[in-house]
Structure 1
Amino acid sequence: MSSASAPQDAVVIDEEELAPTIERGYKPGKETTVEAIVSADSNDESLKRWKESLGITAGTQAFDGPKVEIHSIYLESPTLPEGEKIVIELASLPKDGSTKTIKIKEGVEYSVGIKFKVNNLVMGLRYIQVIKRAGIPMVADKIEEVIGSFGPNPEFNTNRFHSEVSPKGMLARGTYNVKTRVIDDDRVVYADFEWKFTLGKDW
């Protein structure tokens, strides 16, 4: 998109930037089911440990609904009041095409986390986030975090990612566009949404 046809602060985050990093030679495995894993050879110790790592036991069954439900993402920082988080619930995102905007303090340590529920077996769930500065569409920052593989569980899971430090200084202040995607090893997308943050002197 040329600057002549778009506003100066227009930001485009394309599919290539959101593509997950897949190890060379990776091929998605044959889809299996919770029932098949439960009934698999219980005398195989390595298989038994793998089942346990997924939280799958003899009575485990899949639940109705999407394989993975993404409830929210959140930001934590030791510079926020104790116990306080900045939360973006997917259900609260605008439905009119606009984006939700939050504030982030400059020059502080923070971390992003995700709250989700698994209704069926999912392999290689990962979080991808691309950030672009409004008015500087060629500059992008990408975060990709592997969340893991999970069996069905009626309880919500939370996963907090590695800490980051927000940019600092007059030139860094402004509005940033973010696109977040949650995807698995088979390229199934469970969440795909956009939001913004303004970087300033205070939360």
Structure 2
Amino acid sequence: MSDDELVADTTEGYTVSTKLSVNEYVSLDAEDDSLVKWKQSLGLACGTPLEVAAGDNRKVVILSLGLEIQGHDPIVVDTTQAGALDELRRTPIVLKEGSLYRVKIRFRVQHEIITGLRYLQLVKRKGLRVDKSDEVCGSYSPNTVDRPEYEKTFLEEEAPSGMLARGTYDVVSKFVDDDDSTHLQFQWTLQIKKTWD
């Protein structure tokens, strides 16, 4: 899949503001009530920062990706486990046709504030694009001891159904932010089947 197919949607006239450090944000315009509320919503200066392993320069760490499926056990991939993403690429996730499901991610932010985090997903079947998703996750400050991770659950979707919908789909998932930084990108396979067996 080409990289130009999996880019975030843009809003005309929107420009990304200058990046500031967490301390700069905390001390910025303390008399501006709306800015104070925004900083509080991010949890700035609230709690002890999480300790980051030496040499870990990642700003967003995707901890898990899951599917919450109505009437079925959830499918969760722990993306922090060695080889988990390679296994996900080799072993398809099976979804029964017509199933109602929601994508759920768990992640951690470290080092700096992340603005405009998004989850992009491109789905192809036999080389042809059949779906593209662009889900806004939001803006987040670095996690603290009291809040060691974030969680985002997207709107419910319905898996395609019918004989023509059954089969194997190739999927690319990508996490990006307003700065166009890619925090994680991986490929996986989805199989739509008539039954769970």
Give the TM-score normalised by structure 1.
0.84
Q: Distance in 2 between matches of 1:48 and 1:60?
A: 19
* Match of residue 6 from structure 2: 18
Given the alignment, which residue of 134, 137, 144 partners 1:144?
134
Matched, 1:112 2:100: no
Give the TM-score normalised by structure 2.
0.86
Given the alignment, which residue of 77, 82, 86 partners 2:75?
86
Provide, for residues 114-141 of structure 1, a one-character-per-residue CA deviation record: whole Å limited to 9, x for no partner.
Answer: 11011121000000011111x2x22320
Superposition pairs of residues 131-170 of structure 1, within 5 angstroms: 131-133=123-125, 135=126, 137-154=127-144, 155-170=148-163
Q: Is the 8 A contact 1:75 1:110 kept in 2?
A: yes
Indicate the SS of the match to 1:93.
helix
* Match of residue 35 from structure 1: 23
Q: Is the 8 A contact 2:122 2:129 kept in 1?
A: no
Aligned length: 185
* Match of residue 181 from structure 2: 188
* Match of residue 60 from structure 2: 68
Q: Distance in 1 between matches of 2:14 and 2:136?
A: 15
Identity, % of aligned positions: 38
Q: What is the letter of the counterpart of residue 201 of structure 1?
A: K
* Match of residue 124 from structure 1: 116
Indicate the SS of the match to 1:94.
helix
Q: Distance in 2 between matches of 1:166 and 1:15?
A: 25
Q: Distance in 1 between matches of 2:24 and 2:50?
A: 11
Q: Distance in 2 between matches of 1:62 and 1:30?
A: 25
Task: Name structure 1 gaps, 5 residues minimum.
Answer: 1-12
Indicate the SS of the match to 1:115.
strand
1:32, distance to aligned residue in structure 2 (A): 0.8
